[in-house]
Amino acid sequence: MLYRILTSFLLAASCFAAYAPDEVTNLPGIPSGAPPFKQYSGYLNATGDKLFHYWFVESQSNPSVDPVVLWLNGGPGCSSLDGYLSELGPFHVNNDGATLYLNDYSWNKQANVIFLESPAGVGFSYSPSGDIKTDDDQVADDNFQALQNFFVKFPEYLNNTFYLTGESYGGIYIPTLALKIMKGNTSIKLEGFAIGNGLLNVTSNYDSAIYFGYYHALFDQDVWNDLQTYCCENGVCQFFQPTDQQCKDACDIAESFIYRSGINTYNIYQDCAGGIPTQSKRYQFDLWSALGIHYKTPHPKHFEKAQTNSSLRSTHYASHGFMTSKVGDPECSDSTAVTTYLGRADVRLALHIPASVQPWEVCSDAVNGNYTMQYQSVKPLIESMLTKYRGLFYNGDADIVCNFLGAQWFVKDLHQAEKTSRRPWKVGTQVAGFAHEFLNVTAATVKGSGHLVPMWKPAEAYHMITQFLNNQPL
């Protein structure tokens, strides 16, 4: 008995020593009256010499039994700390870039949440050797290694259920990581995954954007008629990588209205913060990953050449006034406050970031430019996952970059048995969107939201994720 007690004590001490140095004890700008939950910031070993920065917040409810949720932002090359500080984390940054305020709809009210900066070179994550060249499979290996390292630091959470969540290019990150967990014979209790406005299939993402543009009055009947005439046959349309030149020209016109007219493609009903910006990193990265094959060269710099070529193809195109439009318009969100906050020396110190680590930025040019996309569709991966895990695909219905229609096509193509027909779901007395439930997966829209659902519709996002974590219908 004495041996068992001593062993338990030593194990507890070693566990405490593993994560105690990472505890965030004095976060600058924290509001008075902040709830007394613990949070940790430090590094997890990935493969090779790579070190991934994490920020872990314990549940405000009952951390010992509440689920553990991993959150991944997309890009590829964009930081999950933006997810913490402007979407679903417990504290958000005020416009002064110095103070924080409480998020009433923080996901850690009901869950323990890990925000992981991935891959190396993103945010505060780094490789001492400077090697940040990577691809989808390597990132999955790195994320899997980092996740296992997390549970070495925090072994008490191995008994909790675990969920993978994220948005945008997280549509690639999440299933590739889930398959590693599924096949890795680990003790991680993965129960499900939730993907918001995710890139799931490059072809259908592009094709559905053309339909979305027409259905939402971004271009007129004349353009739509040309698309139907030159790109469609027997009701089947091929807008992505067409071989017919007239179809290409029609697609160029549609693209010009969708991506280069100056609307906020992340949320077509919202204005652009600060007016129409140019060459936004996040917008370039998302557009490359969403339409990378169409533009052929996997780097945002190619968009300038694509714009020049497409502007010369059609007199119809010129007649609509887009000859001088700039590719990269618009991203329309503003990360200045978050960037300012995470650039402060006292904040870096509180988060245990070494002085040698690069300055934080919302998206990394270097990572994106050295990234190879390998998966044009994650359908086979999702099909494997649904044999064991529950899934939720949710989409803000005003986002065109990774739009709801493409996600619905994707889910329908999984051929899951229907549980309930499409119906409205509510938060309080208001319709929050529409949900279609199948055997192991739900497809949901969030009414009036854009690409970043927890930012634009926080109450709805919180309701949706808590229902999912509790295995309850919307």
Kindly tell me if the per-residue pLDDT of 301 is higher than 60. no
Question: Phi and psi dihedrals of 41, rounded to 5?
Answer: -140, 130
Examine the pLDDT at 307 and tell me if it is beyond 90: no
Instruction: Tell me how many domains the chain contains.
Output: 2
**Which amino acid is located at 30 in the chain?**
I
Q: Is 442 helix (H, G, I), strand (E, B) or coil?
A: strand
For the segment 430-439, the average pLDDT, to the nearest whole number, is 98
Any domain includes 434: yes
Residues 207-223: tens digit of each pLDDT: 999 999 999 999 999 99
pLDDT in tens, 244-267: 999 999 999 999 999 888 888 999
Q: What is the mean pLDDT of residues 117-139?
A: 97
Backbone angles phi, psi at 371, to 5 degrees: -105, 135
Specify the pairing of strand 390-396 against strand 371-372. Answer: unpaired
- C-alpha 182/C-alpha 160 separation (Å) is 16
Of 59, 106, 118, 168, which residue is the catalytic one? 168
Answer whether residue 368 is part of any domain.
Answer: yes
pLDDT digits (tens, 9 = 90+) for 187-201: 999 999 999 999 999
State the average pLDDT for the chain: 87
Band of the pLDDT at 320, cuts 50, 70, 90? very low
Same domain, 186 and 241: no
* 168 annotated active-site: yes
Catalytic entry in 82, 226, 397, 399: 399
pLDDT for 262 equals 84
Q: Is the pLDDT of residue 430 over 70?
A: yes
* CATH number of the domain that residue 157 is part of: 3.40.50.1820
Position 322 scores a pLDDT of 31
Say whether pLDDT at 451 is over 50: yes
Decide if 399 is catalytic. yes
**Pick from 144-148, 243-247, 259-263, 398-402: least confident:** 259-263
Q: How far is 434 from 280, CA to CA, in rounded Å?
A: 31
Whether the predicted pLDDT of 158 surpasses 80: yes
| pLDDT in the model for residue 259 | 86
Do both 304 and 367 map to the same domain? no
Question: What pLDDT is stored for residue 4 in this prediction?
Answer: 44
Strand 418-427 to 430-438 pairing: antiparallel
117, 30: one domain: yes
- Give percent of the chain above pLDDT 70: 83
Residue 260: per-residue pLDDT: 84
Asked if 216 is an active-site residue, the reply is: no
- Which range of residues forms the domain containing residue 236? 202-319
Residues 186 and 206 reside in one and the same domain: no
d(CA 224, CA 378): 29
Same-domain pairing of 393 and 365 = yes
Q: Give the active site residue among 92, 294, 436, 451.
A: 451
Instruction: List all residues 6 or more positions away from 79 whose beta carbon is below 8 Å from its beta carbon.
Output: 73, 117, 122, 123, 360, 361, 362, 363
Structure tokens at 436: 């279609």
